[in-house]
Amino acid sequence: MARVPSALVAASGLVGGYGVARWTGQRQLGGVVLAAAGAAAAQQWRRRAGGKAAGALGAAYVAAFAGSHPLAKKVGAWPAVFGVAGAVALASWAVADRRA
């Protein structure tokens, strides 16, 4: 089975969580997508880069989600989501995926 980069999992969780919440009108459902992808990415981060790195990347994931809200007021919802997803993906790649 091909290995899915944790950067892709994390970015997909942020984009997918927002997309599901927006298109279904159910914020909780978007939160489930966000949390499931975050948990999957955290497991990969821990396995590939260790507990401290996983904690830092998990904090970045949560901060990106929270930070996308005020950013959306300045640049729009989708640009904000794509921007924070890209930042988390880059950090995830640099810390965990690049080594593999």
pLDDT band for position 100 (cuts 50, 70, 90): low
Tally of residues, the chain: 100
The pLDDT tens digits for 50-97 are 999 999 999 999 999 999 999 999 999 999 999 999 999 999 999 999
> Hunting for tokens 């821990």 — which residue is that?
46
Query: If we measure between CA atoms, which residue out of 86, 18, 7 comes closest to residue 42?
Result: 7
Residue 5: strand, helix, or coil: coil
Average pLDDT, the chain: 95
Q: Please, which pLDDT band fits residue 1 given cuts at 50, 70 and 90?
A: very low
**pLDDT at residue 87, as a whole number:** 98
- What pLDDT, on a 0 to 100 scale, did the predictor assign at position 2? 54
- Residue 99: what pLDDT? 76
Residue 25 — pLDDT band, cuts 50, 70, 90?
Answer: very high
Calculate ∠ Cα 11-14-16, nearest 5°: 100
